[in-house]
Amino acid sequence: MTTTRAPRRDAAENRDALLAAARVELNLDADASLEAIATRAGLSRRSVYGHFATRDELLRELLTSGATRVSHAMAGVDHPDPTIRLALIASRLWFEVDDIRVMAVFAVRGPLKTHTAAALQPLRDRVLAAVVDGVALGELRTDIPAGRLARLVEDSALSALAASSRDNIAAPEAHRLAMLLVLSTVGLSATEAAAVIDGTPELAWPAR
Amino acid sequence: MTTTRAPRRDAAENRDALLAAARVELNLDADASLEAIATRAGLSRRSVYGHFATRDELLRELLTSGATRVSHAMAGVDHPDPTIRLALIASRLWFEVDDIRVMAVFAVRGPLKTHTAAALQPLRDRVLAAVVDGVALGELRTDIPAGRLARLVEDSALSALAASSRDNIAAPEAHRLAMLLVLSTVGLSATEAAAVIDGTPELAWPAR
DNA sequence: ACTATCTTGCACAGCACTGTGCAAGATAGT
DNA sequence: ACTATCTTGCACAGTGCTGTGCAAGATAGT
């Protein structure tokens, strides 16, 4: 068999640095050049090709790594109340802002659309399930079909993320904003949403 | 004085066709080439330069024309109730989907950011004013500062537009969706939002 | 200290696009 | 029918990016 020998330690670090740099740079500009990414990672453009065959491959890797990160963050989200579950998803998601935003961009534009959509699917399924449950229990609005509503929940979460970065809102406030918006989208009034959040310890900003 | 003589009729038509084509094509792909736009307009790429000095100038013109179109659509939005005023804005806006979406894209990316933002300003002022009034009257949520909330209203309207085109929802339903989402964002519960919409004739889908 | 591994700079090919010049042809308006 | 106006095709320069080859230099690991 043709075993690929383990990479050198610094090489592995640089590889990670490239991915991290890409995450940052693509959040600033979705069309960032490899030059820009490499520079941010402290490497030369030429070296990128030592780690990734093509720009596309870098992106792919970034997206799938983001996806696993997110799905890892989703582990253990299983509150019996679907409304709270949604808020919980929003909460967890908030901590993966960077990944989420990159994925959101590439889920819409460019040739990686389908790839990204696929990576995002499990998350979407979770949201959809929560929405369906919530509607069935009469907790959520019924004037918008569940499937559509689930996508809108996504959008509202993204709006919150966008708002946080453009107004650079302090973390705890941004975190709450994400939950508030999701709950509003799903049909709760502002006061109801606040009640849900404040009445559920798991939704509080984690003490440090 | 150096009067520029009137353009020939067909030339004027082609110019308009180019703008229309750009509107469509840029909605499909924000990076559409002049080639693509020209082709859609039934012209050759070379001819574009007979009407617009540069790609940038085409975009500028498209954006400002969109802006005037939108502000024209806003004329006469002055209901005493701020909540209804917001819904009304959403309603009117809905009919300018194409312009709105292009503007939304270029308000965020590329060198036309500031130009677009400026063109969008009057609309933003209107929204902000309505939000401020609504908060003052105790109709709208107070847990999000008015300025931020106004931007989030924008975002929710855009989400509705995006949803309409990705699920291609029938016009009257999409129209209602836009209003519903805006009202939800602003703190109303689903049932309250429905009540507002159904209780206000101006917000009904215009009979044809 | 030795070597396989990794990084770098440079040069180059290729691609997709914008913007221009020019001459030939089509068309509107009179 | 005549002419100013407009469109087109082609050729070409310029730009900014991706991807590759190669040789020299740096570095990790032993």
Mean pLDDT of all residues in chain A? 95
Residue B2 has pLDDT above 90, yes or no: no
**A70-79, B13-22, B175-184, B185-194: the lowest-pLDDT one:** A70-79
Taking a C-beta distance cutoff of 8 angstroms, is the pair A4, A20 a contact? no
User: If pLDDT is split at 50, 70 and 90, which confidence band does B182 have?
Assistant: very high
- Burial (CB < 10 A; 0-12, 13-18, 19+), residue B177, is buried
Six-digit token pair at B80? 């005493």
The per-residue pLDDT for B4 is 75
Say how far residue A23 (Cα) sits from the centre of its chain. 12
Rg of chain A over Cα atoms, rounded to whole angstroms, equals 19
Instruction: List alpha helices for A29-170, DSSP H.
Output: 34-40, 45-51, 55-74, 82-94, 97-106, 113-136, 146-166
b/e code B187-208 from CB counts within 10 Å (16+ = b): bbbbebbbebbeebeebeeeee
Alpha-carbon distance of B180 to B114, in angstroms, equals 30
The per-residue pLDDT for B32 is 97
- Burial (CB < 10 A; 0-12, 13-18, 19+), residue B118, is middle
Residue A18 has pLDDT above 70, yes or no: yes
How far the first Cα of chain B sits from its last, in Å, is 49
Could you check: is the Cβ of residue B10 within 7 Å of any atom of nucleic acid strand D? yes
Question: Taking CB atoms and an 8 Å limit, are A189 and B189 in contact across chains?
Answer: yes
The architecture CATH gives domain A1-52: Orthogonal Bundle (1.10)
Q: Report DSSP state, residue B206.
A: P
Residues A26-66 have pLDDT tens digits of 999 999 999 999 999 999 999 999 999 999 999 999 999 99
Which residues 135-174 of chain B have a CB within 8 Å of chain A?
140-144, 148, 151-152, 155-156, 159-160, 162-163, 166-167, 169
Residues A187-207 have pLDDT tens digits of 999 999 999 999 999 999 987
Q: Which of A142, A184, A189, A161 is nearest to B181 (CA)?
A: A184
Find where tokens 């799938």 sit: A64
Q: What is the third-level CATH fold of A63-203?
A: Tetracycline Repressor; domain 2 (1.10.357)
Residues B29-79 have pLDDT tens digits of 999 999 999 999 999 999 999 999 999 999 999 999 999 999 999 998 999
Could you check: is the Cβ of residue A12 within 7 Å of any atom of nucleic acid strand D? no
The per-residue pLDDT for B118 is 94
Q: Tell me if A1-52 shares its fold with A63-203.
A: no
Q: Which residues of B touch A184 (CB under 8 A)?
A: 184-185, 187
Taking a C-beta distance cutoff of 8 angstroms, is the pair A198, B143 a contact? no
Six-digit token pair at A79? 């509150």
The per-residue pLDDT for A110 is 87
Taking a C-beta distance cutoff of 8 angstroms, is the pair A96, A77 a contact? no
Chain C positions within 7 A of any protein Cβ atom are 4-11, 16-22, 27-29
Mean pLDDT of all residues in chain B? 95
Per-domain boundaries in chain A: 1-52, 63-203
Cβ of residue A180 closer than 8 Å to a chain B Cβ: yes
Residue A114 has pLDDT above 80, yes or no: yes
